[in-house]
Structure 1
Amino acid sequence: EVAARLRVAAPVLVPGLGAAPHWQVVVARVDWDGGAEGGAAAQALLEEILVDPASTGPEHSDRIAVAHTGDEAVALVPLPAVAGEHDGADGRGLLADALLESIREPLTAGLDGDGRLTLGVSAAVHSAEGLRGALEEARHARRVAAARPGRVCAAGHQELASHVLLLPFVPDDVRRAFTARLLDPLRDYDRRHRAELIPTLEAFLDCDGSWTRCAARLHLHVNTLRYRVGRIEQLTGRDLSRLEDKLDFFLALRMS
């Protein structure tokens, strides 16, 4: 039903596009220090942020659909066809890169230390069928923004490409259990023997497993480095020649 309605509405919402505009979803959340519900404020902010100051007349604001529930507001933004010409492909990221440039300072002043605004922006989609995925993408990007410091923070879909950005959303108990299982044996050994296994592991991974580069960085003989890596493998039961084990150690170090 949504897809059919958008196909009918598209020529009116974005004149000249025919029936296949691009859409982006923007999700905003306002959290007040006092705990008051911020959905209405988030909706009002989105409506103001997303209005093109170069456009005139009330018809422009009608092209952007904004609604809220609870603390969250969601905007459906139609993009002109020329967006792709300036954004490299299909308009993806058009809003994400520039969204904060003109709004961070006035919004931070407007919140006046009593609230926090976080925003997430999806990639562009070409049909209403892609809106469900775009909404989830924008929500996830907003959670990435919420993990950052500051009163006003935004994140775009491009920032979801790195698994490192997913780490803030790992539950604390899972994070502690995962890092303890892998790193605690090495920490205990380092405390008892001053063996520097943790710094060795960090350098080895940073050098992509290159024995010569890692040994040069640590000012060690390659045989000494091999001994330390062998000790790491013995204490943890892992094999640092395996990609899966390297990735586990990498994630554990990032979460510790």
Structure 2
Amino acid sequence: MRLRSLLAMPELRLELVTGDDELDRVVRWVVTTDLLDPGRYLSGRELVLTGLVWRTSPDDSQVFVRALARAGVSALAAWDAVNGTIPADLVEACARHRIPLFRVPEDLAFATVTEQVVRRLSGARAADLTAVLDRHRQLVAGVTEGAGLGPVLELVDRDLGMRCWVLTPAGRVVAGGAEPPADPAELARVFLTAPRLPHRLTSPDLSLFPVAPDTTARVADWFLACAGDVEDWPAERRALVAELTAIVALERARLDDRLSVEGRLTQELVRLVVSGAAADEVVPRLELTGLDASATFAAVSAASSGRLRPGELRTVLREAMPGPSPVIGLLDDEAIALVQVERGHDVAGEVHRALRALAPGLGGDRLAVGVSDVVAAGELRGAVEEARYARRLSTGRGEDVSVVGHDELATHVLLLASVPDDVRHMFKVRLLDPLRTYDEVHKADLILTLETFLQHSGSWTRCAEQLHLHVNSVRYRIQRIEELTGRNLSRLEDRVDFFLALRLG
């Protein structure tokens, strides 16, 4: 607010003594002081209130007002309750240093002046900032290309004195200028594990707010870390933080590339690789997405067994991937990522560590992830198949986050990854469908018996012990399997075929 607004507040009844040509100065805050030299406690644009306790001689006025001028205060409001006047030396000093001087009515307490002015300042700032935030919300919603979150956070810091940072659940700082006063990874851990939000930290003094809790799983959401205790904030400041979180949600949506040209190229690349397209189709798409076709790559497959939506799964996987620009596409409920890495890079280990840190935000969901070996661009299809096999293998482990790397896959799985889908499907159907149909009708557990029999290298006794059956019952079941399939489980090649078919299942 400007100084002339003080004269328009009837509840204050301030009188201007000197400085009528300086009434367009802006007041930022109100400070009461009785120090002779309060300069160290002033930061500029304050309205200073004083009862002149510091004045013991006319020369003191020059010292006091000079300190105000050097600090850049906007104005002085004074009254000497003991002498019932404003001394001429103070008026002269204010005129000399161009500090506007107001007389405070004798019956008006300084506390009342402070309360009324601060209330007016808070309302004006809230209105001004809300207007700016509303304009920026329209900006990032698509009216223009948007200016990012930095200017808004700078505005909040400058006008409200409240530092804020935007972070991801992985601890990546999205916006906020300087580093937050706590380890970003620790802030992310607190955000993911807090029983309810907003959540206040006492050391450092920060409050954490989810960006879109009603529409986004916590593990895929961004969050806002703001200096101060949310429980002590007035309603205006809480409302402004709500505006901020809405703006951050819009900015995140603007940055989501799924609907952009780059996002469509990424999706097309993944579908081409999975379909087994020729290298002359895949390589140009690789280069269009910003990857180097002459480099080496790893493929990652991820799926969720819970309520995590495909778009959220894609967001989580992106946060966990090594490197700055992984290519991630969606195939129904599965996310497929291609990341450019050097040979020997422990992609599985890095992804597993990142996802373990995110696990507290899954809310009961389970993530199954498979990671391929590092390959050249021409071998991407096999790498994706390898990753998908590894992901299927990880599904049955019962962990909230399960990651299987290529080194955990047997060599036969790597071999199967290069076999066309229709061939693998027909191989599996021909061998196992008769057994599945028989099991559905007779509840005979032939598939389970076959798996156990092969796990124990054809040992009747050990198979019977694990299944808690008599050996003769196992022999009968194996006989039924051979009759239904036309295979002989005493032959090594038939055992291998069954083993491979089961792994394809």
> How does the TM-score come out when normalised to structure 1?
0.52
Structure 2 counterpart of 1:100: 352
What residue identity is the alignment partner of 1:155? V
- Preserved CA contact (<8 Å) 2:289 2:327: no
1:24 to 298, 305, 310: 298
2:375 to 104, 119, 125: 125
Structure 1 counterpart of 2:311: 40
Residue 321 of structure 2 corresponds to residue 50 of structure 1: yes
- Preserved CA contact (<8 Å) 2:321 2:350: no
Structure 2 counterpart of 1:109: 360
What residue identity is the alignment partner of 1:107? L
Residue 9 of structure 1: how far off its partner (Å) = 7.5
Structure 2 counterpart of 1:145: 394
Query: For residues 315 and 389 of structure 2, what CA distance do their matches in structure 1 show?
Result: 21
What residue identity is the alignment partner of 1:126? A
Residue 69 of structure 1: how far off its partner (Å) = 4.8
2:329 to 50, 67, 70: 67
Residue 245 of structure 1: how far off its partner (Å) = 5.0
Residue 246 of structure 1: how far off its partner (Å) = 5.0
- Preserved CA contact (<8 Å) 1:23 1:125: yes
Query: For residues 28 and 7 of structure 1, what CA distance do their matches in structure 2 show?
Result: 24
- Rg bigger for which structure? 2
Say if 1:9 and 1:43 are closer, same or farther in 2 by CA, change over 3 A: closer
1:6 to 280, 286, 289: 286
Question: Deviation string for 1:6-62 (max 9, x for gaps)?
Answer: 35877xx57xxxx621101112223334xx6x21111111111114xxxxxxxx523
Structure 1 gaps, min length 5? 52-59, 85-90, 187-197, 215-229
Structure 2 gaps, min length 5? 1-280, 417-424, 462-474
Structure 1 counterpart of 2:35: none
Query: For residues 66 and 100 of structure 1, what CA distance do their matches in structure 2 show?
Result: 17
Q: Which shifted more, 171-180 or 116-125? A: 171-180
Query: For residues 303 and 478 of structure 2, what CA distance do their matches in structure 1 show?
Result: 45
Structure 2 counterpart of 1:191: none
Question: Deviation string for 1:211-231 (max 9, x for gaps)?
Answer: xxx9xxxxxxxxxxxxxxx99
Query: For residues 476 and 311 of structure 2, what CA distance do their matches in structure 1 show?
Result: 58
Identical aligned residues as a percent = 37
Query: For residues 109 and 154 of structure 1, what CA distance do their matches in structure 2 show?
Result: 16
> How does the TM-score come out when normalised to structure 2?
0.30
What residue identity is the alignment partner of 1:44? T
Query: For residues 302 and 328 of structure 2, what CA distance do their matches in structure 1 show?
Result: 10
Say if 1:78 and 1:174 are closer, same or farther in 2 by CA, change over 3 A: farther
> How many equivalent pairs are there?
193
Query: For residues 103 and 123 of structure 1, what CA distance do their matches in structure 2 show?
Result: 19
What residue identity is the alignment partner of 1:24? A
Residue 240 of structure 1: how far off its partner (Å) = 6.5
Say if 1:233 and 1:121 are closer, same or farther in 2 by CA, change over 3 A: closer
Q: What secondary structure does 1:136 align onto? A: helix
Residue 251 of structure 1: how far off its partner (Å) = 8.6
Query: For residues 439 and 374 of structure 2, what CA distance do their matches in structure 1 show?
Result: 37
